[in-house]
Structure 1
Amino acid sequence: MRITTYYIVFLLTSFFSFGQSVNSPATKSIKANFTTASVKAYQESATLKVEDFYNYLTLLSNETTSGPLKSEIKTSIYSFFETENVNIIDFTTDEKPFIHLNKIIEKIQNKNYTFLVSDFESSIVASDYWTMQYKLTVIQNNKRVKSHYFQNVKFKPVLKSFGTTKKEVWTILLGEIEQ
């Protein structure tokens, strides 16, 4: 009887420990923290963030936008991404090579581009990201070029400070842009 009791305690302890280690990474996944309806709402919010990104690029490209405003626009654009060195397609050329975000920002300034996005579709949600597909129209000097792009959208918890209180907040960050 004594061996059986030890055996049961050992098994329960093992299962409890295993269960704890399995749940730890899962708590950082989207599906473990949000309902399908909530995820859809965040995907719609990500669509707005992509639209804002291209609207800011249009403003940054405009020759008449003031220097201080351009500085604020750059700060806003960088806040959409995890890093300013994220790879994106250079949608201003026919070759469409990959370049860093900070390079495309430098390249389009004062070039009077207009960027229009439409036809958004989101993919199935992975553990911490999804992919959005959309159509981008780039206009410069009355020349229109339309292309389809895919953009990774990362959704992860970030520790933020609110005065003396720290709280984990889930944040949408734009990622790589591919064709």
Structure 2
Amino acid sequence: MEGLNILFSRLLGISFQAEQPQNGEVWSDDVQKLAVLHENEGLMGYIYCDFFHRPDKPHQDCHFTIRGGRITENGEYQLPVVVLMLSLPHPTKNCPTLLTPGMMENLFHEMGHAMHSMLGTRCPTDFAEVPSILMEYFANDYRLLPKSMVSRLCESKKVCAAADTQLQVNL
């Protein structure tokens, strides 16, 4: 999350601050509540990060909007609330959760959707995937990750490039 925090801070002046959820506010102890803060505008909304696999949880990476941002009838702004859900393995006492390149791209992709929902979604339907696809490119950016790691990630993508191309042709 540190890399995403750096990215959004530099791009949009937005930072994420972990908050302690109130009793009954989250559906699992693993869920982390993040306040989305803009450097000039202040609190913009909340993202609930449900990252780790559980037996009763769907095995899919996705985001969904709990409540959209809007001006209410009394003129006050209703803050948006978004969930970012992944199925990552749990960290252990001796080993943190390590992400594969695909997991990293999925995290950035779904965060693109979450931030699009947070900042406004009024757009043509065919544009809805653009913010998330753009975010995938930052998953390989050495300004967010160690340069040696990014180099290895980029090299690993070339290993099966021919097979991937053949698969796409056959589809």
Q: Is TM-score (shorter-chain normalized) higher than 0.5?
A: no
Q: Which has the higher contact order (CA 8 A, sep 6+)?
A: 1
Larger radius of gyration: 1
TM-score, length of structure 2 as denominator length: 0.25
Relative to total residues, which structure has the larger helix share, 1 or 2? 1
